Amino acid sequence: ALLGELVERFAQCGLISVFDGIFPPKEAPLVADAVQNGMRVYAERSFYEEHRLAEKVVRLASNGTGKTPPAKDEADKPRRAAELAVNEHFVVVSGGPGTGKTTIVTSILAGLLKENIHRRVVLAAPTGKAAGRMQQAVHEQAKRRFADSAVGDKLLGLQASTIHRLLLTKQDDGSRPGPEAPLDCDVLVVDE
């Protein structure tokens, strides 16, 4: 209730515009998103960046097949998840520690590489430590499950990077990744 009162007062003086689902909200330095559960207040730039990103994710997610292969049993879930991901353009793999996320991601990558060994795969994580753990986990899965194969060799050659470094590194054409210059890769895996 207090946030609602503050937003109303700031809206009266033109410091906040209230987004009610209709674009664009009035021009103001802050935007209060009244569509979400509860009120969220954003800097105007952050509000628009988040919405543009959400639109791109929805567009990517809607370009896949949308078909979910049937699961035969609990042990079949990682294979089913990998099959689903190979047919989709955007996939989120979630679960707690020890639930098999790396196994699923490595299976997805292996499936994609079996289709086309020349796919450019990029691994990224928020921190150097997380990037190192992801790279090590993918390499361990590759050694265990895909040893002595072209797919295994490709997986073993993957190097993880921090998201920060990935976005600051110039691409082959000299540009930095951004809205006008997408990352030069076919598959992007981002760890939490």
In this predicted structure, what is the pLDDT of residue 68? 54
In this predicted structure, what is the pLDDT of residue 113? 93
Q: How many residues comprise the chain? A: 192
In this predicted structure, what is the pLDDT of residue 131? 95
**Would you say residue 7 has pLDDT above 70?**
yes
In this predicted structure, what is the pLDDT of residue 66? 56
Of 10-14, 58-62, 137-141, give the range with the top mean pLDDT: 137-141
How confident is the model over 153-169, as a mean pLDDT? 93
How far apart (Å, rounded) are the C-alpha atoms in residues 130 and 161? Answer: 9
CA contacts within 13 A on the Cβ side of 119? 21
Return the minimum-mean-pLDDT range out of 67-76, 85-94, 101-110, 118-127.
67-76
**Would you say residue 114 has pLDDT above 60?**
yes
In this predicted structure, what is the pLDDT of residue 2? 75
In this predicted structure, what is the pLDDT of residue 14? 83
How confident is the model over 7-26, as a mean pLDDT? 79
CA proximity to 58, closest of 21, 89, 80? 89
* Residue in the block written with tokens 């993880």: 160
Per-residue model confidence as pLDDT tens digits over 41-90: 889 888 888 888 888 888 877 766 555 555 556 666 666 776 777 777 78
In the chain, beta strands by DSSP E:
16-19, 30-33, 40-43, 121-125, 160-162, 187-190
Residues 138 and 123 sit within 8 Å (Cβ to Cβ):
yes
Say whether pTM exceeds 0.75: no
How confident is the model over 93-112, as a mean pLDDT? 86
- Given the DSSP bridges, would you call strands 40-43 and 30-33 parallel, antiparallel or unpaired? antiparallel
Planar angle of CA 101, 106, 107, nearest 5 degrees: 95
How confident is the model over 118-129, as a mean pLDDT? 95
Residues 171 and 177 sit within 8 Å (Cβ to Cβ):
yes
Planar angle of CA 181, 183, 184, nearest 5 degrees: 105
